[in-house]
Chain A
Amino acid sequence: MSIIFEKSITGRRGVTLPKNDVPVNAAIPEKYLRKSRLDLCELSELDVVRHFTGLSKKNYGVDTNFYPLGSCTMKYNPKICEKIAGMDGFASIHPVLAQLPGGHKYTQGALSVIHHLEELLCKITGMDAFTLQPLAGAHGEFTGLSLIAAHHRKNGSTGKTEVLIPDEAHGTNPSSAAAAGYEVRAVPTGPATGLLDIEAFKAAVSGNTAAVMMTNPNTLGLFNPHIKEIAQIAHAHGALMYYDGANLNAIMGKFRPGDGDFDVMHVNLHKTFATPHGGGGPGSGPVGVKAFLEPFLPTPRIIKTGPGGDNAGNVFALNSDYPGTIGKIAPFYGNFSVILKAYAYILMLGGRGLTAVSEQAVLNANYVMHSLKDHYYIPYLKTCMHECVLTAKRQGEYGVKALDIAKGLIDRGIHPPTVYFPLTVKEAMMVEPTETESREVLDAFAAAMVEIAGAAASAPESLHRAPVSSPVGRLNETKAARDMDVAFL
């Protein structure tokens, strides 16, 4: 399909703007003027609509079919949440309005949504306070580590330079720790258990440890029952426990990170709370803390005073008077429309509904694992949580790799799982079905995977050639990196 700029026809227009209704035609002095021609495309509205409709047809989303991308929680995104986010009373509000003198009066609805979501997240996670400012999961990790750094600074603990992270962790964990100024020390996973190697952990933790970052269940889909013991060891060295909330969809109503002695955590609203992934974003990564870290949270905070305002007689206002704050993580209050969608989702599900979400998400993952265990090598064949990790070890005997299996799935109309992650498992395929998929869909996925396992043995070259049904075949990534054709200029 042509690049949009190739479709441009000189002189064609896609919009008509209002006429200039003021008696001013204020030229900008020559020295400030753009000299080079601004060459945007010139198209009609229909040209543009057709171009993007054409592109959309070459895309695959949750609404297309099963999207079992492990660690990404690609669940269904309720349509009503999009409608709510589009309401004029939310979408058109300038964020500074709330900060004007008396401005809170004009923004009570938006402020109450933020405050209530903070309260709901506290209940779901067992933390004492939340900030909704972080703009994505990795930004939440960065924020959490910044809070930890502020805590250590206040305590005068200067030697705390390291963050311990299990080797199977999401890549954002070590990179967020580095971005927050820490050195990273990886802790191995016990090969037999798939869980953090406690002896290696004990050897690694020291007075230099600022924090331990963990996700539980971990990226192998396994819940670590020794979490309180690990936290106790970390705390004994003055280190804080950070919980990566990427896998929260597994444990709602079953385990609260706050009860497991975690001090700081983030939540991915775009995973657990069903806001759309948008082709890569926007996300939202609220951060929860125990009370002793609350003074460091970013400002402004949204506080509840009373009486008045909402039905319960509350008035919501902004407050920036927190001398210990780390400052501003976002320009305002976070990705508000994502926050709003998550709020509406939690309202619709309630505590019982969220518990049912985790129960079904975990059941679906175990069901997939059991459906495939005779056909694929499963490194940890025991009850998994919301995702399971398979590998291409058996298919490797025929020269078929995880990537070939992924491409074979594309030809069978299904989005592949996450492949080659976790990095600690060779030829990994990480399947996260989510609770919104039906048994029929899971059965169809399993059938496709079984067929692929058969093809690996009988006709491996068919998988090496795959995909053949998609708009393009396998792409030349070496050429892409070498040519660096990253803009049509």
Chain B
Amino acid sequence: MSYIPATPEQRRDMLRVCGMSSADELFADIPKTLIPPDNDFWLTEGVSEFEALAKCEKLSSLNNSRLISFLGGGFYDHYIPAAVDAIVSRSEFYTAYTPYQPELSQGTLQAIYEYQSQICRLTGMEVSNASLYDGGTAIFEACKMAMAATSRKKIVVDGGVNPVYLEMLRTHIANLGAETVVGGDDLIDDAAAAVVLQNPDYFGVIHDHSGIVDKCKKCGAAAIQSVNPIALALIKSPGEQGADIAVGEGQPLGIPLSFGGPYLGFIAVKKDMARRMPGRIVARTVDDSGRQGFVLSLQAREQHIRREKATSNICSNEALCALRAHVYLSLMGTEGLRETASLCRNKAVYLRESIKSIPGVKVTDDTVFNEFAIELPVNTDGVIKRMADLGFAAGIPINANRLLIAVTEKRTKAEMDDYAAALRGAVCQ
């Protein structure tokens, strides 16, 4: 398959315009010794669109999408309304790039401005950026903001933070002379740049972090709260809990799981922190005739202007995923999001109750949102394998005998009853 429209005759003509007789002359600056030999790769022929499709269909069929999923861990199998896919499939959106030319990009720019507004409304903050890569890099960027604001290097990470994000944070700060300490609020002191909290936490438990946030304020540390955006329909927002920086993974908002990405990092702050924010921010303004319009703003923070002094190195972000989240929230509305959140909560509580009576299984009565941890009397590995044979992706192992189980509004009572029965069998086997 080729996407090159030039015909051989046109190529000859165009070369002639350039004063050349062969394409090799175009590459005359590349020393001959550096030109790759014609080897097994450079001589390979492509295939037709149909053949590529057939090959990818085969590969797709090697993945099992029929297991009934109880996997979560911060990434959830929510229903995505068809209108979300329809809108993001408009190529005026998806074949554009960063709106450097605002007059030709009012669609993208207004959509980002509205997305920022949605995130601010959800989190109870005042300034959101246009998106970051994912929830993990959002925590890293938030910590960097806090370190710059406090000139401190210690980051306290609450034990309830997703272990994947903890590992990402450690990788990202490895060369910044910073350190992470993991534990409770007793670790917060005058040396702390930031405290990273998660709500609901990795084990699905809902918290009120107001007390910890107060302690942060006393110590001059920034309180960073990572949140599930769907839970915010029901629970106290980061703004209500006094957090300085709200971050999170936007995947639950209409973004497919897609084996790990692309996802959506969101970040929002109060106005006083705006100039420390990473990445693009869109502002509303007027044009030369006074008409409403939108532009990229506060660009003096960014890499293409400030280079090594930029607040972040981010350039490409997750704009199309942010558009997905915005369309999703627009369709759901306040009541739709509340109902979705309530369904998640009720189903999680129902499934936990159903599992409680399995001999040897221990559950807590913590206030959970869409996910909960259980303790098994046997090794999780064996249980997970047996459950998979029965058609279930049973959950995420926390350790040798603890399992993290998630539901969404998509899981039916019948599926959960079957799951509980299968788990009983798998545990008692």
Task: Give a binary string over B376-413; 1 marks a CB under 8 Å from any A CB, 0 the rest.
Answer: 00001110110010000100110000000000010011
Q: Given contacts A22-B346, A331-B135, A439-B6, are A255 and B46 in contact (CB under 8 A)?
A: no
> Which B-chain residue is minimally distant from A277 (CB atoms)?
B97
A474 to B291, CA, bound (A): 10
Indicate if the CB atoms of A347 and B131 lie closer than 8 Å. Answer: no
Indicate if the CB atoms of B133 and A135 lie closer than 8 Å. Answer: yes
Interface residues of B in 26-41 (CB under 8 A from A): 26-31, 34-36, 41
Indicate if the CB atoms of B171 and A481 lie closer than 8 Å. Answer: no
Q: Is residue B429 within 8 Å, beta carbon to beta carbon, of the partner chain?
A: no
Q: How far is the CB of A168 from chain B (nearest CB, A)?
A: 12
Q: Is residue B426 within 8 Å, beta carbon to beta carbon, of the partner chain?
A: no
Indicate if the CB atoms of A363 and B96 lie closer than 8 Å. Answer: no
A179 to B114, CA, bound (A): 29
> Which B-chain residue is minimally distant from A150 (CB atoms)?
B174
Pick from B49, B171, B298, B302: contact of A146, CB under 8 Å: B171
Indicate if the CB atoms of B350 and A351 lie closer than 8 Å. Answer: no
Task: Give a binary string over B71-100; 1 marks a CB under 8 Å from any A CB, 0 the rest.
Answer: 101110100010101110111111111111
B94 contact set on A, CB distance < 8 A:
61, 77, 82, 276-279
Indicate if the CB atoms of A94 and B69 lie closer than 8 Å. Answer: yes
Interface residues of B in 250-303 (CB under 8 A from A): 256-263, 271, 274, 280-289, 291-295, 297-298, 302-303
B60 contact set on A, CB distance < 8 A:
84, 87-90, 109
A353 to B92, CA, bound (A): 27
Interface residues of A in 431-489 (CB under 8 A from B): 435-439, 467, 470-477, 479-481, 483-489
Pick from B49, B56, B106: contact of A59, CB under 8 Å: B106
Indicate if the CB atoms of B331 and A59 lie closer than 8 Å. Answer: no
Indicate if the CB atoms of A327 and B171 lie closer than 8 Å. Answer: yes
Pick from A20, A52, A353, A467: contact of B87, CB under 8 Å: A52
Pick from A94, A136, A350, A475: contact of B102, CB under 8 Å: A475
Q: Which of A235-243, A334-342, A390-398 contacts B (4 or more CB under 8 A)?
A: A334-342
A253 to B43, CA, bound (A): 10
Indicate if the CB atoms of B316 and A280 lie closer than 8 Å. Answer: yes
Interface residues of B in 3-41 (CB under 8 A from A): 3-6, 10-11, 13-15, 17-20, 23, 25-31, 34-36, 41
A-B contact count (CB 8 A): 691
Pick from B174, B288, B385: contact of A327, CB under 8 Å: B174
A104 to B131, CA, bound (A): 31
Interface residues of A in 189-233 (CB under 8 A from B): 222-223, 225, 227-228
Indicate if the CB atoms of A171 and B52 lie closer than 8 Å. Answer: no
Q: Given contacts A138-B316, A178-B310, A480-B283, are A222 and B29 in contact (CB under 8 A)?
A: yes
> Which B-chain residue is minimally distant from A226 (CB atoms)?
B31
Indicate if the CB atoms of A352 and B43 lie closer than 8 Å. Answer: yes
Indicate if the CB atoms of A470 and B297 lie closer than 8 Å. Answer: no
Q: How far is the CB of B45 from chain A (nearest CB, A)?
A: 5
> Which B-chain residue is minimally distant from A61 (CB atoms)?
B95
Q: How far is the CB of B48 from chain A (nearest CB, A)?
A: 8
Q: How far is the CB of B182 from chain A (nearest CB, A)?
A: 15
Indicate if the CB atoms of B5 and A438 lie closer than 8 Å. Answer: yes
Indicate if the CB atoms of B345 and A26 lie closer than 8 Å. Answer: yes
A144 to B250, CA, bound (A): 27
Indicate if the CB atoms of B331 and A48 lie closer than 8 Å. Answer: yes
Indicate if the CB atoms of A352 and B104 lie closer than 8 Å. Answer: no
Q: Is residue B146 within 8 Å, beta carbon to beta carbon, of the partner chain?
A: no
Pick from B103, B240, B336, B353: contact of A35, CB under 8 Å: B240
A110 to B237, CA, bound (A): 36
Q: Is residue A14 within 8 Å, beta carbon to beta carbon, of the partner chain?
A: yes
B2 contact set on A, CB distance < 8 A:
349, 353, 356
Secondary structure dominating the interface of A? loop
Q: How far is the CB of B425 from chain A (nearest CB, A)?
A: 18
Indicate if the CB atoms of A38 and B338 lie closer than 8 Å. Answer: yes
Q: Is residue B236 within 8 Å, beta carbon to beta carbon, of the partner chain?
A: yes
Indicate if the CB atoms of A51 and B44 lie closer than 8 Å. Answer: no
Pick from B53, B103, B303, B412: contact of A471, CB under 8 Å: B103
Indicate if the CB atoms of A101 and B381 lie closer than 8 Å. Answer: yes
Task: Give a binary string over B154-176; 1 marks a CB under 8 Å from any A CB, 0 the rest.
Answer: 00000000001101101110111
Q: Is residue B314 within 8 Å, beta carbon to beta carbon, of the partner chain?
A: yes
A228 to B31, CA, bound (A): 10
A253 to B24, CA, bound (A): 12
Q: How far is the CB of B240 from chain A (nearest CB, A)?
A: 6
Q: Is residue A301 within 8 Å, beta carbon to beta carbon, of the partner chain?
A: no
Identify the interface centre among A357, A467, A475: most chain B CB within 10 Å of its CB. A475
Indicate if the CB atoms of A344 and B18 lie closer than 8 Å. Answer: no
A406 contact set on B, CB distance < 8 A:
101
A15 contact set on B, CB distance < 8 A:
81, 331-333, 336
Indicate if the CB atoms of A487 and B207 lie closer than 8 Å. Answer: no
Indicate if the CB atoms of B283 and A484 lie closer than 8 Å. Answer: yes
Indicate if the CB atoms of A101 and B285 lie closer than 8 Å. Answer: no
Q: Is residue B67 within 8 Å, beta carbon to beta carbon, of the partner chain?
A: yes
Indicate if the CB atoms of A112 and B288 lie closer than 8 Å. Answer: no
B165 contact set on A, CB distance < 8 A:
331
Q: Is residue B228 within 8 Å, beta carbon to beta carbon, of the partner chain?
A: no
> Which A-chain residue is minimally distant from B30 (CB atoms)?
A255
A28 contact set on B, CB distance < 8 A:
206, 234-235, 345, 367
Indicate if the CB atoms of A110 and B27 lie closer than 8 Å. Answer: no
Task: Give a binary string over B171-203; 1 marks a CB under 8 Å from any A CB, 0 the rest.
Answer: 110111100000000000000000000000000
Q: Is residue B121 within 8 Å, beta carbon to beta carbon, of the partner chain?
A: yes
B137 contact set on A, CB distance < 8 A:
135, 139
Indicate if the CB atoms of B307 and A331 lie closer than 8 Å. Answer: no
Indicate if the CB atoms of B336 and A436 lie closer than 8 Å. Answer: no
A57 to B2, CA, bound (A): 29
Q: Is residue A370 within 8 Å, beta carbon to beta carbon, of the partner chain?
A: yes
A255 to B382, CA, bound (A): 50
Indicate if the CB atoms of A172 and B62 lie closer than 8 Å. Answer: no
Q: Is residue B150 within 8 Å, beta carbon to beta carbon, of the partner chain?
A: no
B274 contact set on A, CB distance < 8 A:
484, 486
Q: Given contacts A43-B330, A93-B257, A350-B47, are A58 and B107 in contact (CB under 8 A)?
A: yes
A146 to B167, CA, bound (A): 14
Q: How far is the CB of A14 from chain B (nearest CB, A)?
A: 4
Pick from A33, A98, A280, A410: contact of B103, CB under 8 Å: A410
Closest 7 A/B residue pairs (Cβ): A332-B260, A89-B60, A280-B319, A278-B320, A61-B95, A327-B171, A59-B107
Identify 18 residue pairs between A and B in the complex whose beta-carbon atoms are under 8 Å apart, listed by A's number.
A4-B330, A18-B409, A32-B235, A42-B335, A57-B107, A62-B95, A63-B92, A174-B308, A184-B307, A228-B34, A280-B317, A327-B171, A349-B46, A352-B42, A366-B26, A410-B104, A472-B293, A483-B283
Contacts A136-B133, A281-B320, A476-B286 known; 14 new A-B pairs at CB < 8 A: A41-B330, A59-B107, A60-B105, A82-B89, A89-B63, A94-B69, A100-B393, A109-B61, A135-B261, A145-B175, A149-B175, A280-B97, A344-B52, A485-B283
